[in-house]
C-alpha cells in the first residue's frame, strides 16, 4: 500500500497498492496522470492488499474524488492514520524515519552520489528513504529520471542510474543474490 502526494494536486493524496517496484509504479503514474512527479509519502507491505484497499476505499469513500479513482481529499496525516492501522511492514514513512530504506537494498546511504548513465555529469545525491536531490530539487528517482529524459518509454528507472559506474539495477541484483 502506498500514499502519494503531488504538487499539481495539493489537496489530494493517492492511496493504492502495487505489486511492482514503487519506482516503476511512480514512473507509470507520471506518464498517465500528472504534469509533475508523484512524491512517496508512505508505503507499507501488507499481506492482503486487495482487502486492505477495499476497506480503505469504503472507510474514506466520502473523501474520494471520483468513484473509479484512488485520489482522496485528505491530509497526509489523515491518509497515514487510515493506512497505518492495517498490519504490515513499513517501507517508507515521511512522517517518521522509515524502518526500511529503499536505497539500503542498493547498498547506498544518505549522501551517496549517483550519476545518470547516459550523461554522468548529471548527478543526484541520496537524501533518505526514496528521496534524491539534484540541483536543489528534491524528488524521487523516477520523477527525476522522467524530467531528465522527458521520455515516457522508460520502464526501469534503476537501469538509468549508476553508482561508482555500476548500473543500479545490476547492483541491486548482485546484492540480493
65 and 143 assigned to the same domain = no
Is residue 86 pLDDT above 70, yes or no?
A: yes
Of the two residues 124 and 91, the one the predictor is more confident about is: 124
Angle at 159 between CA 153 and CA 165, to 5 degrees: 145
Q: What is the per-residue pLDDT across 13-53, written as a single tens digit (0 to 9) for each?
A: 999 998 877 777 877 887 776 777 888 888 888 889 999 99
Give the residue ranges of DSSP H helices in the chain: 22-33, 49-59, 76-84, 141-149, 168-175
Choose the final residue of a domain: 93, 126, 145: 93
Q: pTM of the full predicted structure? A: 0.56
23 and 85 assigned to the same domain = yes
State the total domains in the chain. 2
CA neighbor of 163 nearest in space, from 131, 110, 100, 116: 116
Cα gap 68→71, rounded to integer Å: 9
84 and 106 assigned to the same domain = no
7 and 88 assigned to the same domain = yes
Amino acid at each position: 500500500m502506498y500514499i502519494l502526494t503531488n504538487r499539481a494536486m495539493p489537496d489530494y493524496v493517492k492511496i493504492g497498492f502495487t505489486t511492482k517496484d514503487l519506482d516503476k509504479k511512480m514512473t507509470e503514474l507520471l506518464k498517465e496522470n500528472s504534469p509533475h512527479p508523484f512524491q512517496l509519502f508512505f508505503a507499507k507491505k501488507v499481506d492482503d492488499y486487495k482487502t486492505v484497499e477495499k476497506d480503505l476505499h469504503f472507510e474514506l469513500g466520502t473523501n474520494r474524488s471520483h468513484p473509479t479513482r484512488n485520489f482522496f481529499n485528505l491530509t497526509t496525516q489523515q491518509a497515514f492514520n487510515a493506512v497505518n492501522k492495517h498490519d504490515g511492514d513499513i517501507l517508507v514513512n515521511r512522517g517518521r524515519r522509515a524502518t526500511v530504506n529503499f536505497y539500503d537494498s542498493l547498498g547506498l546511504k544518505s549522501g551517496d552520489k549517483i550519476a545518470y548513465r547516459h550523461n554522468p555529469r548529471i548527478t543526484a545525491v541520496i537524501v533518505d528513504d526514496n528521496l534524491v536531490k539534484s540541483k536543489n530539487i528534491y524528488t524521487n528517482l523516477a520523477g527525476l529520471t522522467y524530467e531528465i529524459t522527458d521520455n515516457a518509454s522508460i520502464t526501469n528507472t534503476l537501469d538509468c542510474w549508476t553508482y561508482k559506474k555500476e548500473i543500479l539495477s545490476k547492483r541491486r541484483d548482485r546484492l540480493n543474490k
